[in-house]
Amino acid sequence: MEYIKNYTDGKFISPISGKYIENINPAIGEIYSYIPDADEQDVALAVAAAKAAFPAWAATSAQVRSAFLLKIASLIDTYSEKLALAESIDNGKPLELAKTMDIGRAAANFHFYGTAILHESSESHFTSPTAINYTLRKPIGVVGCISPWNLPLYLFTWKIAPALAAGNCVVAKPSEITPMTAYLLSEICIEAGLPKGVLNLVHGYGHKVGQAIAENPEIPAISFTGGTATGKKIALAGAPLFKKLSLELGGKNPNIIFSDCNFENAVATSVRSSFTNQGQICLCGSRIFIQKPIYEKFKNEFVRRVKLLKVGDPLQADSDLGATVSKQHKDKVLSYIELAKQEGGTVLTGGKDVKLQGRCENGYFIEPTVIEGLSPYCRTNQEEIFGSVVTLTPFESEEEVIRYANSTPYGLSATIWTENLNTAHHVAHALESGIVWINCWLLRDLRTPFGGVKNSGLGREGGFEALKFFTEEKNICIKL
């Protein structure tokens, strides 16, 4: 049984409390490793190491930092099979998905910011005829990075890479539910020769380690991805200390299908955007709105294809859906299916947990579930479920569907399916959403701003936005 360690000051260390948390493989429902039950004392050690490392790391050239990041990217590629297996075991996601999506993207994050830092430039403003201003962008110091369980290494590195590239030292906390690939990343950082204290990883519960990062006065900036309720706690802790915050929070994304869409592309992609990673991607479209003339046709074909999806052992290549991340989360998703029935919904397919035979007989599996007949304003259609459950709702006009789509407290992403350019632009502009995909889903360009509006978050990640977040601007004015 493996005991994961914290990574502090370039070394692996046990939690000061000596306590550990059970780490469960959700596909088999059994403990397979232990995670440090760290607390504010371990965070204080990590902050001290990061503070000590900061002056030297901040003084390195962009070329030197780039070389470290590219080395880490290349080692992630080298160990991609091992990392993908660890991600699948920890999270329950299909191994194929971990290989094709999660690990490749983690390497790409380091590669992207390792090269982006070489292309950064700063502004200057000529105040004719008396002065010239130029703007310096300096690293902030010790920054906190806190990430969730759904795309563990993918989202963890999406924060760490720009923070390091910009010259900061990092105290990071992966989700206690999926800590394994973060632990393997610390091994990679040691192999890459990253100077000690530049990156520190503290494992443990959110209310202990996460809260200690949020409250620590020596961490002036925090990049967080997770639930909206947790984001509020971090904002509450950080606001009196005037911390810089980037908050990527929950979603309840609309997927809007107009009658004139390319039907085949819309159905095929909607199956993916509903159930990839068991529906546990913040960008999954959980509310599908279909224009009335094609409602029945779309519904029948969508349900037919969903019934063909195989829920199975994540390690088998033909499994489309693996396990839900934890028993607690499985129970939450199933409780929303019960709620949907109470609210008058009809389950068209799915609706139950899945009992597999053999190795995975005690795993946490749920059928992909499609529900119709609900009001767009009921709880099932307003609250984030974050699982393999979608609803179908008919609509008549653009105005009506915009009203439905914008009715939730969230505003992360949206998808629109239409062949009419005017409809596409009009609806995209009217949606309260940080990201809109037209005739596609999850087509990512890492240079674009990523983030949500309303209760889906604050600030933007991606491209130079993240490098700006992780730096402090200073304007210098010279009188000519």
Contact footprint for ligand NAD (CB under 6 A):
146-150, 155, 173, 175-176, 206-207, 210-211, 214, 225-227, 230, 233-234, 248-251, 282, 384, 386, 412, 452, 456-457
| Smallest separation (angstroms) from ligand NAD to the CB of 263 | 29
- Neighbouring CB atoms inside 10 A of 154's CB total 21
Nearest to 310 by CA among 266, 368, 363: 368
Closer Cβ to ligand NAD, 94 or 167, answer by number: 94
Q: Which residue do the tokens 């479209």 mark?
A: 285
User: With contact defined as beta carbons under 8 Å apart, do 126 and 154 qualify?
Assistant: no
Residue 282 annotated as catalytic: yes
Closer Cβ to ligand NAD, 254 or 312, answer by number: 254
Relative to beta strand 6-8, strand 365-366 is unpaired
Q: Which burial class, exposed, middle or buried, applies to 329 when counting CB atoms under 10 A from its CB (0-12, 13-18, 19+)?
A: buried
Residue 360 annotated as catalytic: no
| Smallest separation (angstroms) from ligand NAD to the CB of 226 | 3
Q: What tokens does 89 get? A: 């075991």
Nearest to 377 by CA among 351, 343, 418, 349: 343
| Smallest separation (angstroms) from ligand NAD to the CB of 252 | 9
Nearest to 254 by CA among 350, 376, 102: 376
Relative to beta strand 20-25, strand 30-36 is antiparallel
Instruction: Give every strand in the sheet of 285-291, ordered side by side.
Output: 346-349, 369-372, 389-395, 285-291, 253-257, 413-417, 435-438
Can you tell me whether residue 166 is helix, strand or coil?
coil
Closer Cβ to ligand NAD, 65 or 287, answer by number: 287
Q: What tokens does 76 get? A: 């992630």
| Smallest separation (angstroms) from ligand NAD to the CB of 372 | 24
Instruction: Give every strand in the sheet of 457-458, ordered side by side.
Output: 11-13, 6-8, 199-201, 169-173, 142-146, 221-225, 244-248, 457-458
Q: What tokens does 379 get? A: 């709880």
| Smallest separation (angstroms) from ligand NAD to the CB of 409 | 12
- In Å, how far are 92, 96, 203, 264, 333 from 89, measured between CA atoms? 6, 12, 18, 34, 20
Q: Which listed residue (176, 248, 301, 465) is catalytic? A: 248
| Smallest separation (angstroms) from ligand NAD to the CB of 390 | 15
Closer Cβ to ligand NAD, 68 or 437, answer by number: 437
Q: Which listed residue (169, 261, 282, 284) is catalytic? A: 282
The string of DSSP letters for 281-339 reads STT-EEEEEEEGGGHHHHHHHHHHHHHHPPB--TTSTT-SB---S-HHHHHHHHHHHHH
Closer Cβ to ligand NAD, 177 or 198, answer by number: 177
Compute the distance between CA of residue 271 and CA of residue 283 in angstroms, rounded to an integer: 13
Closer Cβ to ligand NAD, 64 or 241, answer by number: 241
| Smallest separation (angstroms) from ligand NAD to the CB of 174 | 6
Question: Which element (helix H / strand E) includes 266?
Answer: helix 263-275
| Smallest separation (angstroms) from ligand NAD to the CB of 211 | 4
Closer Cβ to ligand NAD, 273 or 291, answer by number: 273
Compute the distance between CA of residue 305 and CA of residue 350 in angstroms, rounded to an integer: 12
Q: Which burial class, exposed, middle or buried, applies to 207 when counting CB atoms under 10 A from its CB (0-12, 13-18, 19+)?
A: exposed
Closer Cβ to ligand NAD, 129 or 240, answer by number: 240
Closer Cβ to ligand NAD, 207 or 292, answer by number: 207
CA 443 to chain centre: 15
| Smallest separation (angstroms) from ligand NAD to the CB of 282 | 3
User: Which residues are known catalytic residues?
Assistant: 248, 282
